[in-house]
Amino acid sequence: MQLEALYVAQPALTAQAPILAIAVPLIGACAAALAPSGRAGWMISVVAAMVSAWMALAVAGEVMREGVILYQLGGFAPPAGIALRVDAMGALIALLIGAVGTLAAVFSGHSLAAEVRPEKHTLFQAGFLLAQAGMVGLVYTGDAFNAFVFLEVSSIGTYALVAAGERRDRRALPAAFNYLIMGTIGATFYVIGVGFLYGATGTLNMADMAARLGTLDQNAAVQAGFAFIVAGLGVKAAMFPLHGWLPGAYAHGPSLISLFLAATATKAAIYLMARFLFEVFPDGAAFGDMFLQWVLAPLGAAAVIVCSLQAVFARELRRMIAFSSVAQVGFIFLGFSLANASGLSAALFYMTAHGLMKAAMFMALGGLAISIGARRLEDFAGVAREAPWTAVAFGIGAASLVGTPLTMGFLAKWQIMEAALAGGRIWIFAVMAAGSVLTLVYVGRIIEVMFFREPAPGAPRAKESPVGVLVPLLILAGLSLWFGIDASLPQQLAQAGAASLFEVRP
Amino acid sequence: MTAPVLEASFALNVALLLMLVVLAAAVVWTRSLLAAILLMSVYSLVSATWLMVMDAPDVAFTEAVVGAGISTIVALGAILLTRGEAVRVSWKRQVVPGLLAGLVGGLLIYAMSGLPDFGDPASPANSHVGRAYLETAKRDIGAPNVVTAVLGSYRGFDTLGETVVILAACIGVALMLGFGPRATLAPPAGAPGDHHVVLRVTAKMLVPLIILFALYVQFHGDLGAGGGFQAGVIAAVAIILHALVFGLRETTAAIPPQAARAVAALGVVVYAGVGIVCIVNGGGFLDYDHLLTPQIEAMIPAGLLGDPDKPHHWGQYFGILAIELGVLMTVSATMITIFYGFAGRTIDAIAAELRR
């Protein structure tokens, strides 16, 4: 599939597409909050998410044709005004957010009815759309403080959305509180760091900041700013060992939120960290290289090993998949730590692959949760007989997670391993291989229970997911397969994004 | 020369900062949550004073209104539902957080050596974009208060985001606390009008005055310190005062919780709608120079705002007016929603909900 050939909107609309991808879900959120019924709120949510995804697709096509897009807000040129600045990397992540957001919105029609009190549905949809708008804004903006604002837009609502899972699982409340405190500390660290960089450069625009930081890598405020920004975004990105909020929030929140957060929230934070690591901070600054070599790489490796083991020993299915998410973040950071274009491109591709597969797995569990309120792994014994389509879609996501050939996950893992070998980092290759084996162990356990065990006598019988769940679910699973065979769309964007960040660096 | 003035302000700075350190330590040490909340309120007031000393009246105003004012009210509402004393934590569990806090503090102190001196006219913050704002705000925007020009127009997209954050908080609180059983927070026991006459008469006089002051702060933002954020909080305080004195039933009869939530969402619609109108009229999002079509601009009487010969930036003027209105709506309605969320929730009502 050639992205350049995608003319999905009129030129006049394409010119406004970056802001519309943010503003439409924003206004949609207000409309959903005012909606007369949960059903109306759901329809608004689906339409707004779909328009946002369409605009993100238009932006991606434009980026492939024109290169980096600038959109001035308020008509003021940066650095005085705020500008959106979309490169191929941002276009790819926003496309992921738009696609998963749309499918999740469709899915929410059934899952909310089963999991959240009916009187809360309109507000819930509003919060969901705000999260989506915030993440797209975070990815598109070219301004460091504006990114903080959108980080908060995408987070504040989701804290309460996680808590709304309390109807099904009371543990959602402490999990949401934990997430709130950790998330707020992360955001505060980020803004402290931005404050130091502003003090040292006098600008908030990222490109302008990068130009002015060039000679400032010995400045104490810049170094401290770097530390604060990386630590703050590390919390948001669930970088080991700052991931404590994640397993609870994913395991106990409503299915819709688990799937949307797992697919997109950590990705948006990781994306912002990549912007700072490879674009804003001075080229070849000693602290940047030290961080990649001696902090990010070992922590990434630790995440892969420790959290994969935690997933192996976890007893609840959603918790297993949540721990697996932290381990996958470790894989992505290993790709970053290679500090070259092929490593970054592979990591970006991995982010997309992981977003799609985890969304499919959480959505499948959400579909099953409509009929059985199962938590422990054993409760899922034999669901493949009662709900074959749902189970197959889960299985495709799981296969992609393991890295089975002909899935997107295989290409993603292989690209990072190849980049590690090309960069002479044998140990990263070895850690990735060990992590893949551990993944196979816990995924194998799940598949064995779901597909090859007899259901326990007297246990509640699972039912096949309703069509409103099956359609988005099968699309998600299908994407993991499609991009496993023809990966040109995400691949082109990932390579172009990585190349544009590294062309200035030797 | 100016040396004595500098010394006086130096002494003032030192005194205020020392007070902040003492207050922060006291908040950490005290076990009484009520005392901690009141000390936090004092902390905000002292930092507002300190910001005033540093010639940042807009920030000082916000800190006073939000930090010392509304967040104290919300925190007091929250501790009504918890026990009044913090649980004692064994020192072993404080070692790691203590080390982390020490590390962060050390990093902050280390960073100071890289920052320019306070008030240095050659510092990056004062010589780059900050200086450009001072030079161009009058020409581009026309608002006398540069802070308003920056918040409302140059960085108006940030302010939209901040308003959305407030709306997100409103939705979050409404989702968590807005439903379920509650007491109606009747006025204090006894026949209406016995020994609370003085309180009720005073409150009746104060509520309109506070709202008047909120409107002054709202519309004065163009000229001096103020704007939608501060005005919204002040207006909400008037409503909260009404609820405290006359009872939640009276207040919700006037402003039902659903209405408050709707106004919060509509505020963001107003703000983002201004941005969309600018696009429709051929500009970029929030480009107020395109807010009004030339036909509409021609209809504005030349002497509407004083001197008819002075060129006015009508688009910028009405744009900032409209978005500040949106901010006022969202902020005030959100504060009221948060108060409603806590008000009337008794321990008994929550226990009943948990048993359900």
B77 and B53 co-located in one domain: yes
Task: Please give the Cα distance from A468 to B349 (Å, whole number).
Answer: 37
> How close is the nearest chain B Cα to the Cα of A146, in Å?
6
Which pLDDT belongs to residue A399?
Answer: 93
Nearest to B49 by CA among B34, B38, B37, B59: B59
- The structural domains of chain A, with segments of one domain joined by +, span 3-502
Mean pLDDT of B181-208: 70
Which pLDDT belongs to residue A22?
Answer: 96
Helix (H, G, I), strand (E, B) or coil at A71: strand
> How close is the nearest chain B Cα to the Cα of A298, in Å?
20
Interchain contact B110–A (C-beta under 8 A): yes
Q: What residues in A contact B113, CB-CB < 8 Å?
A: 220-221
**CB-nearest partner of B268 from A30, A117, A164:** A30
Interchain contact B290–A (C-beta under 8 A): yes
Residue B162 reports pLDDT greater than 90: yes
| Mean model confidence pLDDT for chain B | 86
Note whether B169 contacts A23, CB cutoff 8 Å.
no
Note whether B287 contacts A150, CB cutoff 8 Å.
no
Lowest-confidence segment of A308-317, B78-87, B149-158 by average pLDDT: B78-87
Mean pLDDT of A269-273: 93
Mean pLDDT of A232-239: 92
Name the band, by pLDDT with cuts 50, 70 and 90, for residue A385.
confident
Note whether A157 contacts B285, CB cutoff 8 Å.
no
- pLDDT, greater one: A197 or B142: A197
Helix (H, G, I), strand (E, B) or coil at A254: coil
Interchain contact B161–A (C-beta under 8 A): yes
Mutation site, A73, A141, A191, interface B, largest B CB count within 10 A: A73
Which pLDDT belongs to residue B191?
Answer: 46
Which pLDDT belongs to residue B237?
Answer: 93
Bond before A174 cis per omega within 30 degrees: no
Q: Which domain holds residue B65?
A: 1-115
Lowest-confidence segment of A271-280, A462-471, A477-486 by average pLDDT: A462-471
% chain A with pLDDT above 70 = 97
Q: What residues in A contact B161, CB-CB < 8 Å?
A: 137, 146, 149-150, 152-153
Chains A & B: contacts with CB separation below 8 Å: 191
ipTM of the complex: 0.93
Mutation site, B129, B281, B350, interface A, largest A CB count within 10 A: B129
Mean pLDDT of A124-148: 95
Which pLDDT belongs to residue A293?
Answer: 85
> How close is the nearest chain A Cα to the Cα of B59, in Å?
15
Lowest-confidence segment of A476-485, B34-43, B116-125 by average pLDDT: B116-125
Note whether B172 contacts A156, CB cutoff 8 Å.
yes
Note whether A224 contacts B111, CB cutoff 8 Å.
yes
Task: Please give the Cα distance from B200 to B50 (Å, whole number).
Answer: 35
- The domain that contains B23 carries what CATH number? 1.20.120.1200
% chain B with pLDDT above 90 = 43
Query: How far is the CA of A444 from the CAs of A251, A303, A440, A449, in angstroms?
Result: 20, 20, 6, 9
| Mean model confidence pLDDT for chain A | 90
Which pLDDT belongs to residue B122?
Answer: 85
Query: How far is the CA of A250 from the CAs of A179, A316, A450, B12, B109, in angstroms?
Result: 10, 12, 21, 50, 37
Mean pLDDT of B73-79: 86
Lowest-confidence segment of A74-88, B216-230, B275-289 by average pLDDT: B216-230
B246 and B142 co-located in one domain: yes
- pLDDT, greater one: A305 or B297: A305
Task: Please give the Cα distance from A467 to A107 (Å, whole number).
Answer: 9
Task: Please give the Cα distance from A151 to A135 (Å, whole number).
Answer: 7
Mean pLDDT of B156-178: 92
Note whether A126 contacts B265, CB cutoff 8 Å.
yes
B102 and B68 co-located in one domain: yes
B244 and B325 co-located in one domain: yes
Mean pLDDT of A282-305: 85
Q: What residues in B contact A137, CB-CB < 8 Å?
A: 161
B77 and B145 co-located in one domain: no
B67 and B85 co-located in one domain: yes
Which pLDDT belongs to residue B60?
Answer: 92
Name the band, by pLDDT with cuts 50, 70 and 90, for residue A427.
very high
Which pLDDT belongs to residue B248?
Answer: 83
B181 and B74 co-located in one domain: no
Q: Which helix (H) or strand (E) holds A86?
A: strand A83-86
B86 and B230 co-located in one domain: no
Residue B1 reports pLDDT greater than 50: no
Mutation site, A45, A51, A123, A158, interface B, largest B CB count within 10 A: A123
Q: What residues in B contact A19, CB-CB < 8 Å?
A: 275, 279, 284-285
8 Å CB contact between A329 and A240: yes
Asked which of B91, B115, B139 is the last residue of a domain, the reply is: B115
Tell the burial category of B57 from Cβ atoms under 10 Å away from its Cβ (0-12, 13-18, 19+): middle
B102 and B133 co-located in one domain: no
Mean pLDDT of A203-222: 88
B350 and B224 co-located in one domain: yes
Which pLDDT belongs to residue A176?
Answer: 92
Name the band, by pLDDT with cuts 50, 70 and 90, for residue B356.
low
Name the band, by pLDDT with cuts 50, 70 and 90, for residue B308.
low
Which pLDDT belongs to residue B190?
Answer: 47
B135 and B110 co-located in one domain: no
Bond before A79 cis per omega within 30 degrees: yes
Lowest-confidence segment of A106-120, A208-222, A276-290, B301-315 by average pLDDT: B301-315
Q: CA angle, corner A446, sides to A441 and A452, nearest 5?
A: 110
Which pLDDT belongs to residue B180?
Answer: 67
Helix (H, G, I), strand (E, B) or coil at A148: helix
Q: What residues in B contact A212, CB-CB < 8 Å?
A: 124, 128
Which pLDDT belongs to residue B348?
Answer: 64
Which pLDDT belongs to residue A505?
Answer: 45
Q: How far apart are the first and last CA of chain B?
A: 74
Mean pLDDT of A123-139: 95
Note whether A27 contacts B171, CB cutoff 8 Å.
no
Interchain contact B312–A (C-beta under 8 A): no
Q: What is the total count of domains within chain B? A: 2
Which pLDDT belongs to residue A1?
Answer: 53
% chain A with pLDDT above 90 = 59
Which pLDDT belongs to residue A227?
Answer: 92
Asked which of B115, B148, B170 is the last residue of a domain, the reply is: B115
8 Å CB contact between B264 and B270: no
SS (H, E, C) A353-414: HHHHHHHHHHHHHHHHHHHCCCCEHHHHCCHHHHCHHHHHHHHHHHHHHHCCCCCHHHHHHH
Lowest-confidence segment of A304-308, A370-374, A385-389 by average pLDDT: A370-374
- pLDDT, greater one: A380 or B103: B103
Task: Indicate if the alpha-carbon torsion angle A398, A403, A406, A409 is positive or negative.
Answer: positive
B189 and B330 co-located in one domain: yes
Task: Please give the Cα distance from A310 to A319 (Å, whole number).
Answer: 9
Name the band, by pLDDT with cuts 50, 70 and 90, for residue B246.
confident
Asked which of B63, B98, B115 is the last residue of a domain, the reply is: B115
Q: What residues in B contact A220, CB-CB < 8 Å?
A: 110-114
Tell the burial category of A90 from Cβ atoms under 10 Å away from its Cβ (0-12, 13-18, 19+): buried
Interchain contact B288–A (C-beta under 8 A): yes
